Structure 1
Amino acid sequence: MSKDRPQDLRDIVDRIGQRPANPITRARQMVEQEVPVARRGPGWDRHWRELEAYLEVGVLWRDPAKPLPNNHSPEETETSLDKKRADPKTSP
């Protein structure tokens, strides 16, 4: 056993104690602890990356039948809101 072992353990404990700011990333970590790699489908990683990206760009999720929230100007059209939803890294 090396003398550095306690520091290695401290590093691991520190890393475990750090929570990602993105709640989708936290959810992914919890789900991946339960779902074995062999059971994950071919689109597994892309699915999670898309969800993480949507949250990072501040997507506005809303019902088109409801009016816009007060923090959006009337000039902001559905088309401009749709552009905010698309993630260029993952959209076709």
Structure 2
Amino acid sequence: MTAEIRAILDRLRTPTDNVVTRARRMVEAHVPEDRRGPGWDRHWRELEAYLELPGQWPGKAEVEEDR
């Protein structure tokens, strides 16, 4: 097994706290590469970055209370 494949497998085995990264892995397991549009990677990277920004993100209950 090459080091490149081993690194990929290690990333897949290592759970991440970023829920967007976990969601991306689940979605990519079902969407073939040839069906992914031209901004696929950028879209996911942006979502992952937003989640990692410092600050407090409101939960659904908090947003509904503000209405």
TM-score by length of 1: 0.48
Aligned residues: 57
Question: Which whole-Å CA distance do the structure 2 matches of 1:23 and 1:43 have between them?
Answer: 20
Hey, what does 2:31 align to over in structure 1? 35
How far off is 1:58 after superposition?
3.8
CA RMSD between the two structures: 2.8
Hey, what does 1:45 align to over in structure 2? 41
What CA deviation, in whole Å up to 9, does each residue of 1:33-88 have, x standing for no partner? Answer: 1100000001111110111011000453475xx29xxxxxxxxxxxxxxxxxxxxx
TM-score by length of 2: 0.63
Which of structures 1 and 2 has the bigger CA Rg? 1
**Identity in percent:** 50
How far off is 1:21 after superposition?
1.9
Question: Which whole-Å CA distance do the structure 1 matches of 2:41 and 2:17 have between them?
Answer: 19
Runs of 5+ in structure 1 lacking a partner? 68-92
Question: Which whole-Å CA distance do the structure 1 matches of 2:21 and 2:13 have between them?
Answer: 14
Runs of 5+ in structure 2 lacking a partner? none
